[in-house]
């Protein structure tokens, strides 16, 4: 078994942390007679970056959407910050949603709005503030996401794929959330752009104390960024643990995915990067 323990040491959570910001118990999701998840349990520790991976059709994005309430569940419980999401009143639910930001797989930016206006959408939804203050906050979030100052007036169609991802990230950060939900954030990016985005997510998590729930298929992301990896398979979470423990897990898909040529290349590259620093 490859030793990956020194590739991505956990530097924003303690080894013995038990503070779960998200707890899912006995989750069931289904589309008609097709069951996607059955009796699924998962914990997300406060302050960690958790990578969620699984084969095609295992329901990674469905799991994310179920946790944030965009996908109805057929059974089980989702708790965020110690509160069962099924029992929140309208006002409580609205307040709870200010605690997280979401970056969807395609960015889901409003094409008719500028980048700055996109960032201001959640501000307008949740707060009554002046336009000047919203403009200032939008500029701050745009810079935080690593975009240049002149990106604010531009429209999504004027941006590259990588810049659209960052614009969507700026919007996800608009309300100063505790949790970031990222659905395939590096999909469609070239290797350099993907690595840069990964590093940005890691830096934001560390500097802002963010918890990150990250759905990905990118082995480089799993190796270099994630504190733990949760593997979806057989309608449930097979294992949720640091990468070295996941790689030792006795399951055909896990072994094929984490011990194939692509995985070995990602681990080797991460070790070289670590040694340089």
- Between CA 184 and CA 214 the distance in angstroms is 7
State the pLDDT at residue 268.
62
State the pLDDT at residue 7.
43
**Do residues 232 and 60 touch, judged by C-beta distance below 8 A?**
yes
- Between CA 100 and CA 180 the distance in angstroms is 6
Q: Which whole-number Å values give the CA distances from 78 to 21, 27, 60, 149, 264, in the listed order? A: 11, 8, 16, 39, 35
State the pLDDT at residue 115.
96
State the pLDDT at residue 266.
66
Q: What is the mean pLDDT of each run of 10 residues along the chain (277 residues)?
A: 44 52 96 95 97 94 94 94 85 82 87 96 91 95 94 94 93 95 92 92 95 94 94 96 94 88 65 55
State the pLDDT at residue 269.
62
191 CB-contact burial (10 Å; exposed 0-12 / middle 13-18 / buried 19+): exposed
State the pLDDT at residue 119.
96
Per domain, the residue ranges of the chain are 103-177
């Amino acid at each position: 078994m490859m030793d990956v323990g020194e590739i991505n040491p956990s530097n924003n959570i303690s080894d013995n942390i038990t503070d779960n910001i998200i707890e899912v118990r006995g989750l069931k999701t289904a589309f008609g007679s097709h069951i996607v998840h059955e009796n699924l349990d998962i914990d997300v520790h406060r302050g960690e970056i958790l990578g969620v991976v699984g084969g095609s059709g295992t329901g990674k994005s469905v799991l994310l959407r179920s946790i944030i309430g965009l996908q109805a569940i057929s059974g089980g419980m989702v708790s965020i910050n110690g509160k069962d999401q099924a029992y929140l009143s309208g006002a409580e639910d609205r307040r709870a949603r200010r605690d997280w930001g979401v970056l969807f797989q395609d960015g889901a930016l409003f094409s008719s709005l500028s980048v700055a206006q996109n960032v201001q959408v959640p501000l307008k939804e949740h707060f009554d503030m002046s336009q000047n203050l919203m403009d200032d906050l939008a500029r701050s979030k745009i810079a935080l996401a690593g975009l240049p100052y002149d990106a604010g007036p531009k429209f999504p169609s004027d941006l590259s794929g990588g810049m659209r991802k960052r614009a969507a990230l700026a919007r996800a950060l608009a309300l100063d959330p505790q949790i970031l939900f990222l659905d395939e954030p590096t999909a469609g990016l070239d290797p350099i752009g993907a690595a840069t985005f990964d590093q940005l997510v890691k830096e934001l998590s560390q500097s802002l104390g963010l918890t990150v729930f990250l759905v990905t298929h990118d082995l480089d992301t799993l190796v270099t960024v994630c504190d733990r990896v949760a593997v979806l398979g057989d309608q449930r979470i097979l294992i949720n643990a640091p990468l070295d423990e996941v790689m030792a897990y006795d399951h055909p898909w896990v072994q094929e995915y984490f011990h194939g040529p692509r995985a070995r290349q990602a681990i080797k590259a991460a070790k070289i990067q670590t040694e340089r620093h």
